[in-house]
Amino acid sequence: MNKVYGCIDGTKSTAAVIDWAAWSAQRLDVPLELLHVLERHPEQAAVTDFSGAIGLDAQSSLLQELSSLDEQRSKLAQEAGRQLLAGARARAAAAGVARLDTRLRHGELVDTVVEMELDARLFVLGEHRRTASSSRLHLDHRVEQVIRAVKRPVLVVTNDRFEAPQRFVLAYDGSATARNAVETVARSPFLSGLPAVIVMAGSDEHKARGQLDEAHSLLADAGFSAETAFVQGEADTALPAFVKTQPAALVVMGAYGHSRLRNFFMGSTTTTLLRMSEAPVLILR
């Protein structure tokens, strides 16, 4: 596990992904590899799938023209990918990253990150697409697939601008998964030196305080400056609202626990916090 992989795709969040990946590689003191995967989109594949429907009497010139069009599209995509990576490399180098590489791959993003998982310390990728309503966000299905497929941490960039975090907000629910997330943070240099806010949502503050104190002790023993917070209400509304009160924050959470927090954070199709949070989210496994 000795690289940060910055997964870029040329969308609006690409610059922020590069900046977050560069910041992460420097914090972890590991090399950075910027990755761009050329995926075949269904609407493009449909152009070359006409051959089976044209029939035996089709003009061979038409088939050749379709094949040539597909080849041209592939070459253009490769050249655009190389230019994207060249620009990304220059941006990361300007941010101070010395150990830096780029990679252009064909295939599916999820398959590619799974292939590279053994060599990964962290994956950084962009997140959502905005819908017509600015208050509702749709989670890119590829992001959720990556989160579910890999066991390495994933940093999801949820906006188009990088701002170095001044604190991190750790979502906690007292479960084994949440405790493991706290222990991971405590062992890693990634967030060292940043103040922490450990937050828990629910209805029983007395019970929550004991669990919060346990998490606080784990971080305090590791040298973190930490405070705790309890927010009344359901996690799906209370936690995003709390995050909005924390400027320049990075949200940290565990994934795939066995609690109501798990159902909130990693739903079957979307993650409410990822859809609603303006702060980037670090997901720990």
> What residue type is assigned to position 106 of the chain?
H
Q: Which of the four pLDDT bands, split at 50, 70 and 90, describes residue 96?
A: very high
Q: Which of 41-50, 107-116, 272-281 has the highest mean pLDDT?
A: 107-116
Q: Which of the four pLDDT bands, split at 50, 70 and 90, describes residue 23?
A: very high
Residue 26 has pLDDT above 90, yes or no: yes
Structure confidence at residue 207 (pLDDT): 86
- Percentage above 90 pLDDT, the chain: 56
Structure confidence at residue 128 (pLDDT): 46
Strand 154-157, strand 281-284: pairing? antiparallel
How far, in Å, CA of 216 to CA of 195, rounded?
12
Any idea which residue has 């937050």 for tokens? 199
Distance set, CA 166 to CA 89, 98, 191, 192, 246 (Å): 26, 24, 10, 11, 9
How far, in Å, CA of 120 to CA of 191, rounded?
18
How far, in Å, CA of 97 to CA of 3, rounded?
12
How much is the average pLDDT of 59-64? 69
Name beta bridge partners: 47: none
pTM: 0.84
Strand 154-157, strand 122-126: pairing? parallel
For residues 109-121, one letter each, b for 16 or more C-beta atoms within 10 angstroms of the residue's C-beta and e for the rest, the string is: bbebbbebeeebb
Structure confidence at residue 221 (pLDDT): 96
Residue 84 has pLDDT above 50, yes or no: yes
Strand order in the sheet with 196-202: 100-106, 32-38, 4-7, 122-126, 154-157, 281-284, 249-254, 167-171, 196-202, 226-232
Q: Which of the four pLDDT bands, split at 50, 70 and 90, describes residue 48?
A: very low
Quote the radius of gyration of the chain (alpha carbons, Å).
22
Q: Which of the four pLDDT bands, split at 50, 70 and 90, describes residue 130?
A: very low
Which secondary-structure segment (H or E) carries 246?
A: none
Residue 194 has pLDDT above 60, yes or no: yes
Q: Which of the four pLDDT bands, split at 50, 70 and 90, describes residue 276?
A: confident
Listed range (139-143, 192-196, 236-240) with the worst mean pLDDT: 139-143
Residue 29 has pLDDT above 60, yes or no: yes
Q: Tens of pLDDT along 203-227?
A: 888 888 999 999 999 999 999 999 9
Q: Which of the four pLDDT bands, split at 50, 70 and 90, describes residue 148?
A: confident
Residue 136 has pLDDT above 50, yes or no: no
Residue 38 has pLDDT above 50, yes or no: yes
Listed range (14-18, 93-97, 133-137) with the worst mean pLDDT: 133-137
Average pLDDT along the chain: 84
For residues 184-197, one letter each, b for 16 or more C-beta atoms within 10 angstroms of the residue's C-beta and e for the rest, the string is: bbbebebbeebebb
How much is the average pLDDT of 239-245? 90
Sequence-distant (6+) residues with CB within 8 A of 175 are 254, 257, 258, 259, 261, 262
How far, in Å, CA of 193 to CA of 126, rounded?
25
